[in-house]
Chain A
Amino acid sequence: MLIAQFIEDLEHLPGPLPMHYRTVRADTWRRVAQAVSEAGGRLLSLWGSDRTRGASGSLVISAAYVVREGLLWLDLPLGERSVIDPQHPSYPDLVPFFPCAAHLQRAAADLLGVVAEGATDRRAWLNHGAWPANWHPLRRQDPHPGLPAAQEVTDYAFVRVAGDGVHEIPVGPVHAGIIEPGHFRFSVVGEKVLRLEQRLGYKHKGIEKRFTELPPLAANRLAGRISGDSTVAYAWSYCMALESLASCEIPERACWLRALLLERERVANHLGDLGALGNDAAFAFGLAQFSRLREDWLRLAKEAFGHRLMMDGIVPGGVASDIDRSSADRLFRQCDSVEREVLQLQQVYDEHSGLQDRFMTTGRVTPELASQLGLTGLAGRASGQAVDLRCDQPWAPYDRLQVKIATCSDGDVAARVMVRFAEISESLRLLRVILCRLSEGAGETRRELRLPAKAALGAGWVEGWRGEVFVALEWDGENGSNGIRRCHIHDPSWQNWPVLVHAVIGNIVPDFPLINKSFNLSYSGHDL
């Protein structure tokens, strides 16, 4: 599959991964969607932006696709096409080609007031009534309307399932455990789930707008707080986007240090999840052991990087701090000890029949369904989708690491557990290679970033522990405005939340927490 086959005159965006950009018209927008879908490419993200400047410019809808050669970012200006409704300019619907576009399109409608032509589901997604439906936070000219008082959120039109003995169980937004808020509505017969409908967006706090209010060289802190469990992945993506639009190449040592943080973040999350998954299957021993390992892991991070979750370690132009020889040694030794213990625990998990009984065949997503719905990241790999950016587009330093992808085709909770074990082991191997490299010498770890005195676009794209994290950044350096005009954030949870709905069908309600945990999707990264 060649990008050039569907589209010419691509602009190459500077950056460590192959990323291409082009403005298109509606017919090309539709044609590319179809071609990418037929060629087995993926829709990575969809978002809207306000590019008006006084009387010129327009609203724009953008899509980012992943094809074999890399990323393709298309902009479709929505000028005078607003035949249907002048208030709401429209664009060709992508749902027929990519089902995962549905929620993204509803979010774009809430935030910018642009709609997909012929889209069947027009319910608001992020706007729960906290701001007026005819006011769009990402539009430029609209004055702020003043906010209505806190409203009831019961008017959402959930889809009803009719039938003998069918009843509904509403859960949330505040859940029983220490987890993020969201609403789940189960239609069940007896214990069996017939249908699950999600309502998300409770945590929407206006992050994308907030970016435009912060100085670009400090907004990496906000990026690191989009989804705290992926703080490293987001900080890296944001900084990559900023470096991309400034054509700044970061020092080699900074690349190695960034990968050190990213792989440690992956291990930290997998350790936490493996413990929680044991616990959700009534195996408290697993939680005690894995949470202890995770705590040790975070404590050493605090000593080596100054923060347990390594927040704000990645900064525009490089990294905030280097590690010395003795830290590198200790981090190395911890990889050895964690590896030993995880191997033992893996044997315990494998041999525990009660645990395996709960894990196997539970919450199954077949590879066919996964590919059809666009399941991505870790959950995708557990359903046979061999996609890992570290292998597919190995950017520095992954181009020197030869990451071994972990996949499984069973698509059940057991598969998602198995992929986590395999990824811990691979990340520990990578960490040791990285640490050896780092202890060989010193070097520059940060370069000054000069933002251009013109308008520019940049993109960042990183394989976080949950999947691909993407940042699209629009910079305005003209006439001294020097600000972020638009920052779009994409979490792999957008693709995976709708698939969770399918994973639950036919399972019993008490297995929902286990299935949900096995995906461990982000609410904050999705709600923004």
Chain B
Amino acid sequence: MWRILRQIARNGIRSEAPPAGNDALRVDGEQIQREILAILGQALSIREVDAGSCNACELEINALNNPYYNIEGLGIRFVASPRHADMLLVTGPVARNMELALRRTYEATPAPKLVVAVGDCGCDGGIFGEGYASCGRVANVIPVDVAVPGCPPEPIEILRGILTAVRRGRQG
């Protein structure tokens, strides 16, 4: 046990200030939390759906859970079911074999049903494009609120995209 405590003590708190949303303003964690609460009345619940990625986008989404980004601290959490989700975070070009599963997940998600497409693949099909087995971009299959370019986008960009969608959700 003392080893664990020593390791924790030595490394301290590594969380960094979260990024600004679409506007250039840099907002602090508290403000983001307040915004999320104001818009949704609760923490933001995200269901991640890999619709055909190369898995690097998942690596970077997973990185959001590391201590530097501290997204739980911002009131954002990943949930296991679309029925509990406010937002779908979708990666990849949509593989035809995943088309139906993605539509189903979208249908099962309650309002506000925000959708963030992550990565060049999600934005425009990326290097895989459209073909006999790929439907291309996510918007070809379900409506998309915000698309985050990058291959893969860095965790901070993904977080920015999530916050932008939350703000747009309020305006829309």
> What is A's interface to B at a CB cutoff of 8 Å?
126, 128, 130-131, 137, 144, 147, 150-153, 173-174, 176-181, 201-207, 209-210, 221-222, 225-229, 231, 272, 285, 287-289, 291-292, 294-295, 298, 302, 308-309, 311, 344-345, 347-348, 351, 522-524, 527
Given contacts A153-B100, A295-B66, A522-B55, contact A137 B132 (CB under 8 A): yes
CB-CB under 8 A from B160, the residues of chain A are none
CA gap between A231 and B105 in the complex, in Å: 29
Report the bound CA distance from A272 to B58 in whole Å. Answer: 12
Beyond A130-B132, A347-B3, A527-B97: 20 further Cβ-contacts under 8 Å? A126-B97, A128-B96, A131-B133, A144-B132, A147-B132, A150-B96, A150-B100, A176-B81, A178-B61, A180-B58, A205-B96, A205-B131, A225-B56, A228-B58, A291-B62, A295-B63, A295-B67, A302-B154, A351-B3, A524-B54
Residue contact B58 to A344, C-beta cutoff 8 Å: no
Q: Which residues of A contact B45 (CB under 8 A)?
A: none
Given the contacts A153-B97, A202-B98, A222-B127, A180 and B55 also touching, CB distance less than 8 Å: yes
Task: Answer yes or no: B8 CB below 8 A from chain A CBs.
Answer: yes
Contact, CB under 8 Å: A203 / B63? no
| B43 interface contact, C-beta 8 A | no
- The digit string for B26-69, where 1 denotes a CB below 8 A from any CB of A, is 00000000000000000000001111111111111111011110
Question: In this assembly, does B95 line the interface, its C-beta being within 8 Å of a C-beta of chain A?
Answer: yes
Contact of B151 among A294, A311, A348 (CB under 8 A): A311
Check if A229 sits within 8 Å of B52, measured CB to CB: no
Number of B interface residues at 8 Å Cβ cutoff, please give it.
Answer: 51
Contacts of B122 on A, CB cut-off 8 Å?
Answer: none
Query: Which residues of the other chain, B, contact A344 by a CB distance below 8 angstroms?
Result: 3, 7
Partner of B152, one of A144, A174, A302, A309: A309
The reply on B92 being an interface residue by CB < 8 A is yes
A-B contact pairs, 27 of them (CB 8 A): A130-B96, A130-B97, A131-B96, A150-B103, A178-B62, A180-B53, A203-B52, A203-B53, A204-B95, A205-B128, A205-B131, A206-B128, A206-B131, A225-B151, A227-B54, A228-B54, A228-B56, A285-B4, A285-B8, A288-B67, A291-B67, A292-B14, A298-B63, A309-B152, A348-B3, A348-B7, A527-B95
Q: Is the interface of A mostly helix, strand, loop or mixed?
A: loop
Contact A178 B4 (CB under 8 A): no
- A205 contacts B4, CB within 8 Å? no
| Complex contact A202–B55 (CB within 8 A) | no
User: What's the Cα separation between A100 and B100 when bound, in Å?
Assistant: 30
Q: Which of A150, A152, A351 has the most CB of B within 10 A?
A: A150
CB distance from A123 to the nearest CB of B (A): 15
Q: Are B80 and A177 closer than 8 Å at their CB atoms?
A: yes
Contact of B132 with A308 in the complex, beta carbons under 8 Å: no
- Top 7 A-B residue pairs of the complex, sorted by shortest distance between their CB atoms: A228-B56, A130-B96, A176-B80, A291-B66, A206-B133, A205-B134, A225-B54
**How far is it, in angstroms, between the C-alpha of A128 and the C-alpha of B60 when the chains are bound?**
29
Asked if A524 contacts B55 (CB within 8 A), the reply is: yes
Instruction: Say whether A180 contacts B50, CB under 8 Å.
Output: yes
Residues of A within 8 A of B127 (CB): 210, 221-222, 225
- Complexed CA–CA distance, A209 and B128 (Å): 10
The residue on B at minimum CB distance from A145 is B132
Shortest Cβ distance from B57 into A: residue: A228
- B residues less than 8 Å from A351 (CB atoms): 3
B17 at the interface (CB under 8 A from A): no
Within 8 A of A (CB), among B89-126: 92-93, 95-101, 103, 105, 126
Judge whether B11 is part of the interface by a CB distance below 8 angstroms: yes
